[in-house]
A and B are shown apart, each in its own frame.
Chain A
């Protein structure tokens, strides 16, 4: 049962996944403090493990073509338990949404406009995402094409311009970081960026060529992951041990670009690209939440729900986090473990149960 008439093509899905992952550009800054100069190894590891997880998700999606995550849960676990599972996924999406809202507010507040109340930034951004979600997933997919071109260009250009400032000795010694920290770092990166691919199980039914799902999603993850990797390498090579200390290595490394005193202050570009990517991530999460609630309550259209859920998400994010330090702490130490249940255990369980019950009949 499709709640919306829009359709996205396989290439749009690929770009959507790619831009989703590249949006972790700045959220990655949490991981630098843990695994200092080996962060790029963590990114690489997270990419591989993420690809494996994505295979699980895609297997689940391909077993039930045309059905979103909520509907799959209903089918696998039966109506009552299935709704419970769906509510758990919804909790994950809503809390991710509020985290991202807080993150955007904090980002804009710190780097762009220190004197604006954070709620205004959140309201403006949420209104924008609400507009996009109301127009449907097709519109969001059309914009992500522009977004990914812009961000890829920004990453490549900043990489090229920073080459003269890069010191490859900053990478050494490799593997100095203890393996525990490396695993933790991988885990952080995974649950911030790569596991969000779970969200795409809500979007995949709208693709007009279901056979190409696997290829699109995996290719998209590769594109996004490569972008992240390039950015991480750039940051470590340019900043060295500084990358572990500063709050946002991406911005700081771009601040170093100074070609002939003319090409300076390029962090505006990075900031703009980041806002664009964050917009796409927030919109897709928002869309997943609204669609999920609409499907659990069996509505005909998700459009009326958009605004109330937006207000709810803003309020939730305002009361959940009081400072970015707290967010940092949670993301580094606590949330990785907590979310394992949602993005690892639950989907695997669903797949196993589906295989055991030999669904779909």
Chain B
């Protein structure tokens, strides 16, 4: 007892010391401005080159091209660029050629235009040129594939946009395939992604605001929204959360998502993502905001509500009747994928009287020689299924076919005939597995829920399942995503929006945007758009 007390007190003292250390360290963290390193360029070309070498030297892809230009070849200059990120043709044709072969008109020191100014205005045939003096900006530009032009005698450098690198071509997105609809997908390049969205929404109200996040990766992150429809408070909140991210690296939109989400401890994600431009455009048009991150084809959309995971873009491109049926099937499949193993366990362990008699005979016969209780079987099969699924994702392609056959036949078939698992169990697990892919946005949370429900069913039967269902509903009802309740339009009941939840009402009936998201500009289209053959009056008046 005394030992434990001493241990506790020493631990507390240690924690207090650690806290104090971090507190004082924060104050000493002045912006790392060493007095020795210069922050802006000087007038001398050689000194400038030395300074830049200090920052970016020792790299094999650094190219420094010194040359002279001017009427009498009197001015020294140097081009600094990163090989591999720049367009060589542009450098050769549009920068070097004019400078080397055309003369600078009237480099008179008495004139009030500097050399740099004159080069920019009259000689370089490049579209985007910026003047910079701070080393910080110059290095950033260099690292983004821009060419730096340093001229002797000028404290300014020209940062010329010549970025060009190899990127993937626009193909159909691998994770979201559709039967009907555009097959374009986002790629890793931010500018291409913004173009893809701009091509869908040709409105001057579509705004793209950008910022750079990540201390070392300096990833450009872009917020896309429509000025008059999106809630200005929402955009403010997104910007505030993005600005608060102070980390080293932002490599993917998932990292951004994890830093700005509303409920980090919940298993349900409150931010949606998509790889298709038409889906992103549709969400922007409803009043949401899209967050594009450079370097990844996955675009985030906020806010997200629970029923979004059950809606797919195809629903809107097909006619409403079949789309509504398919949507209801999706809900059914989701319920199945979460509750099927749990219901099976509950029925066979606790509520045998609920199984129809004929089925009861065959099930008990199948369960005859099985050594494990049903709960252990269910959990074991669940674990094996997750292992198979994960292995299937990571497999090198040639091996893929063989392994899936191994998984299906060997494990399932042989386990049953060896008496390790009952046959109904395999059916249940297979059904669950297939059903869990119907709603792709909820696969990860669905797996966890399935495990929780199975365990609950295992030790308290049907009552446990009810308790679990109510518990999950409470959790869902208390989640908010950037201010929007997660269960709208079900929870704060909004009847006009129910047209798009369980069924998909015909397009001409969806007159308003979702009430909690797009209430700034509620009307989406005109009334009375129902199509039909021309009526009698129209025909006769013509």
One digit per residue, 1 when the CB lies within 8 angstroms of any chain A CB and 0 when it does not, for chain B 451-494 equals: 00000000011111011001101100110000001010011110
Contacts of A136 in B (CB 8 A): 478
Stretch of B83-91, B262-270, B348-356 lying at the A interface: B348-356
Contact between chains at A143 and B492 (CB < 8 Å): no
Contact between chains at A112 and B470 (CB < 8 Å): no
Q: Which residues of A95-142 have CB atoms within 8 Å of chain B's CB atoms?
A: 108, 112-113, 116, 120-121, 124-125, 128, 131-132, 135-136, 139, 142
Contact between chains at B492 and A142 (CB < 8 Å): yes
**Given A112-B351, A128-B471, A272-B466: A142 touches B461 (CB 8 Å cut-off):** no
**Given A112-B461, A112-B463: A143 touches B490 (CB 8 Å cut-off):** no
Partner of B461, one of A9, A113, A279: A113
A276 to B468, CA, bound (A): 11
Contact between chains at A139 and B478 (CB < 8 Å): yes
A112 to B464, CA, bound (A): 11
One digit per residue, 1 when the CB lies within 8 angstroms of any chain B CB and 0 when it does not, for chain A 243-256 equals: 00000000000000
Is A346 an interface residue when CB atoms closer than 8 A count as contact? no
Question: Shortest beta-carbon distance, A282 to chain B, in Å?
Answer: 11
Is A145 an interface residue when CB atoms closer than 8 A count as contact? yes
**Given A112-B461, A139-B478: A146 touches B467 (CB 8 Å cut-off):** no
A124 to B462, CA, bound (A): 13
A177 to B350, CA, bound (A): 41
Question: Shortest beta-carbon distance, A16 to chain B, in Å?
Answer: 12
Please report the total number of B residues contacting A with Cβ < 8 Å: 24
**Given A112-B350, A112-B351, A145-B490: A268 touches B477 (CB 8 Å cut-off):** no
A112 to B490, CA, bound (A): 30
Is A11 an interface residue when CB atoms closer than 8 A count as contact? yes
Contacts of B477 in A (CB 8 A): 135, 139, 142-143
Contact between chains at B473 and A143 (CB < 8 Å): yes
Contacts of B490 in A (CB 8 A): 145-146
A52 to B485, CA, bound (A): 36
Contact between chains at B470 and A279 (CB < 8 Å): yes
The main secondary structure of chain A at its interface with chain B is helix
**Given A113-B350, A132-B474, A139-B477: A264 touches B460 (CB 8 Å cut-off):** no
Contacts of B463 in A (CB 8 A): 108, 112-113, 121, 124, 275
Contact between chains at B478 and A265 (CB < 8 Å): no
Contact between chains at A125 and B462 (CB < 8 Å): no
Contact between chains at A142 and B467 (CB < 8 Å): no
A120 to B461, CA, bound (A): 12
Question: Shortest beta-carbon distance, A136 to chain B, in Å?
Answer: 8
Question: Shortest beta-carbon distance, A237 to chain B, in Å?
Answer: 26
Question: Shortest beta-carbon distance, A118 to chain B, in Å?
Answer: 12
A143 to B478, CA, bound (A): 10
Question: Shortest beta-carbon distance, A6 to chain B, in Å?
Answer: 10
Contact between chains at B462 and A128 (CB < 8 Å): no
Contacts of B462 in A (CB 8 A): 112-113, 268, 271-272
Contact between chains at B470 and A276 (CB < 8 Å): yes
Contact between chains at B478 and A135 (CB < 8 Å): yes
Partner of B473, one of A125, A146, A265, A275: A146
Question: Shortest beta-carbon distance, A140 to chain B, in Å?
Answer: 8
One digit per residue, 1 when the CB lies within 8 angstroms of any chain A CB and 0 when it does not, for chain B 302-333 equals: 00000000000000000000000000000000
A276 to B466, CA, bound (A): 8
Question: Shortest beta-carbon distance, B74 to chain A, in Å?
Answer: 74
Contact between chains at B354 and A265 (CB < 8 Å): yes
A11 to B491, CA, bound (A): 11
Question: Shortest beta-carbon distance, B363 to chain A, in Å?
Answer: 16
Q: Which residues of A127-183 have CB atoms within 8 Å of chain B's CB atoms?
A: 128, 131-132, 135-136, 139, 142-143, 145-146
Contact between chains at A128 and B491 (CB < 8 Å): no
**Given A124-B463, A142-B492: A268 touches B354 (CB 8 Å cut-off):** yes
Q: Which residues of B324-370 have CB atoms within 8 Å of chain A's CB atoms?
A: 350-351, 353-354, 356
A276 to B467, CA, bound (A): 9
Contacts of A108 in B (CB 8 A): 463
Q: Which residues of B123-182 have CB atoms within 8 Å of chain A's CB atoms?
A: none
Contact between chains at A143 and B470 (CB < 8 Å): yes
Contact between chains at B470 and A145 (CB < 8 Å): no
Contact between chains at B467 and A125 (CB < 8 Å): yes
A124 to B493, CA, bound (A): 29
A112 to B477, CA, bound (A): 28
Question: Shortest beta-carbon distance, B337 to chain A, in Å?
Answer: 20
One digit per residue, 1 when the CB lies within 8 angstroms of any chain B CB and 0 when it does not, for chain A 1-40 equals: 0000000010110000000000000000000000000000
A216 to B463, CA, bound (A): 32
Partner of A264, one of B356, B471, B487, B492: B356
Question: Shortest beta-carbon distance, B324 to chain A, in Å?
Answer: 19
Contacts of A279 in B (CB 8 A): 470
One digit per residue, 1 when the CB lies within 8 angstroms of any chain B CB and 0 when it does not, for chain A 270-287 equals: 011001100100000000
A143 to B466, CA, bound (A): 14
Contacts of B470 in A (CB 8 A): 128, 132, 143, 276, 279
Contact between chains at B471 and A131 (CB < 8 Å): yes
Report the nearest B residue to A271, measured CB to CB.
B462
Partner of A113, one of B460, B485, B491, B493: B460
Contacts of B464 in A (CB 8 A): 124
Contacts of A264 in B (CB 8 A): 356
Question: Shortest beta-carbon distance, A112 to chain B, in Å?
Answer: 5
Contacts of A131 in B (CB 8 A): 471, 474
Contact between chains at A9 and B492 (CB < 8 Å): yes
Question: Shortest beta-carbon distance, A111 to chain B, in Å?
Answer: 10
Contacts of A12 in B (CB 8 A): 493
Partner of A143, one of B351, B353, B467, B474: B474
Contacts of A272 in B (CB 8 A): 462, 466
Report the nearest A residue to B488, measured CB to CB.
A142
A124 to B491, CA, bound (A): 25
A132 to B470, CA, bound (A): 9
A122 to B356, CA, bound (A): 30
Report the nearest A residue to B358, measured CB to CB.
A261
**Given A112-B461, A264-B356: A11 touches B473 (CB 8 Å cut-off):** no
Question: Shortest beta-carbon distance, A19 to chain B, in Å?
Answer: 13
Which among B354, B478, B490 has the greatest number of chain A C-beta atoms within 10 A? Answer: B478
Contact between chains at A139 and B474 (CB < 8 Å): yes
Contacts of A276 in B (CB 8 A): 466, 470
A116 to B457, CA, bound (A): 13
Contacts of A265 in B (CB 8 A): 353-354
Question: Shortest beta-carbon distance, A152 to chain B, in Å?
Answer: 15
4 further A-B contacts with Cβ under 8 Å, apart from A11-B493, A112-B462, A272-B462, are A9-B492, A135-B477, A268-B351, A271-B462
Q: List 5 A-B contacts (CB under 8 A).
A: A11-B493, A112-B461, A131-B471, A142-B485, A264-B356
Give me the 10 closest cross-chain CB pairs, A-B, nearest first.
A142-B491, A142-B477, A135-B478, A139-B477, A139-B478, A132-B474, A275-B466, A108-B463, A113-B461, A124-B467
